[in-house]
Amino acid sequence: MSKLSTLSSVLVCLALSPAGCKSEEGGGADKGKEEGKEAKDDGKSDTKEGEAEDAGSLKVATGDEGAEGPVPPETSMVFFTVEGALLPLACFDKDAKKVHAADKCLDLVPDGAQARLSSIDSQFNKPVGARGEPQCTAGDGKNTAFLVEGITEGANFKFGTWPPSGIKAVTPITDETMEEENLELSDDESAKLLAATGKSGELKVHQVAEFDLDGNDKKERAFSIYLPDPKVIEQYAFSAMYIAPDGNLDGLVQIDQSKTKKDIYEIKGVLDLDGDGTKEMWIRQVFAEGAGDRLVKFAGGKIEAIGKYSCGG
């Protein structure tokens, strides 16, 4: 191509929208599409038009009104998991200045109240209905949950709060923390975790999660680990979850350990239930028949469970 032809092409491109000219490397609109795809694949934000991030760093679905209002200790709060109904795990009673567990929280929620439900990537306010049985214990005759119309339709709701503004106190931990590429440990980390078990064998990792419980900008790390049972494939030789305060594996503390050797543990989120500046951990115990949840507090180097596991865990 002559120099004159090249110059003419450049001048034509400059007269057009930049997206209309492709470089030899594949620029313009096509390159923008590819870069957008790569950004999404890398796990970067791909917030759609009409969605926004609220103070709890959770997306709010288009048309929903958000979650304005107080959080503990300025208000009482109930934290629910979703079991075909809103099943309370724990709550903070502002007037009594106490934290309670499970069905002791039912009376805090007034008639006609609304709860805020989250499916991790969207949130909705929904009216709280009458008391009823959660799906996980259906048939036991105990109305330990709140029925909510449409709770099993549309979005896959995971948790909720009353009042709706309480959702801002919750930080969920995603299932990406259980994906294989996020489970790699150094030899030193593996050795310290195995030593903490007091066992020997092949250490396996189910989850590695990071979060800041006390606001000191030093992230705690939680490890769900197990040792396979070479003789019985339906159970583990050992299964437990540990926390490394400020990420220090020299100070590992056990959160829980399976007594049946058939459970495995997951951390699903953290929340400041009572507004004291130290977040509680939302722990799930997974077993063959299902799963149960409870909150635990870590303070002063010790683990304190808030109630028993839900759903017969």
CB neighbours (10 Å) of residue 125? 16
Q: Is 76 exposed, middle or buried (0-12, 13-18, 19+ CB in 10 A)?
A: buried
Report pLDDT for 64: 64
Residue 297 has pLDDT above 80, yes or no: yes
Which of 181 and 8 is assigned the larger pLDDT?
Answer: 181
Task: Give the confidence band of 65 by pLDDT, cuts at 50, 70, 90.
Answer: low
Residue 52 has pLDDT above 90, yes or no: no
Query: In degrees rounded to 5, what are phi and psi of residue 32?
Result: -60, -40
What 3-state class would DSSP assign to 88?
strand
- The model's pLDDT over 86-107, given as tens digits with 9 standing for 90+, comes to 999 999 999 999 999 999 999 9
Q: Percent of the chain, pLDDT > 70?
A: 79
- Sketch the domain layout of the chain as residue ranges: 52-169, 175-306
| Stated pTM of the model | 0.79
* Tokens 């929904």, located at residue: 126
Report pLDDT for 121: 86
- What mean pLDDT do residues 146-161 have? 94
Task: Give the confidence band of 62 by pLDDT, cuts at 50, 70, 90.
Answer: very low
- What mean pLDDT do residues 59-84 have? 82
- The model's pLDDT over 195-251, given as tens digits with 9 standing for 90+, comes to 999 999 999 999 999 999 999 999 999 999 999 999 998 899 999 999 999 999 999
* Tokens 């400059």, located at residue: 14
| Cα–Cα distance, 263 to 252 (Å, whole number) | 20
- The model's pLDDT over 260-286, given as tens digits with 9 standing for 90+, comes to 999 999 999 999 999 999 999 999 999
Q: What is the DSSP string of 194-241?
A: HHHHT--S--EEEEEEEE-SSSSS--EEEEEEEEE-SS-TTSEEEEEE
- What mean pLDDT do residues 34-62 have? 40
Q: Which of 30-39, 65-74, 279-288 has the highest mean pLDDT?
A: 279-288
* Tokens 């002063």, located at residue: 300
- Round the average pLDDT of the chain to a whole number and report it: 84
Residue 53 has pLDDT above 50, yes or no: no
Which of 62 and 308 is assigned the larger pLDDT?
Answer: 308
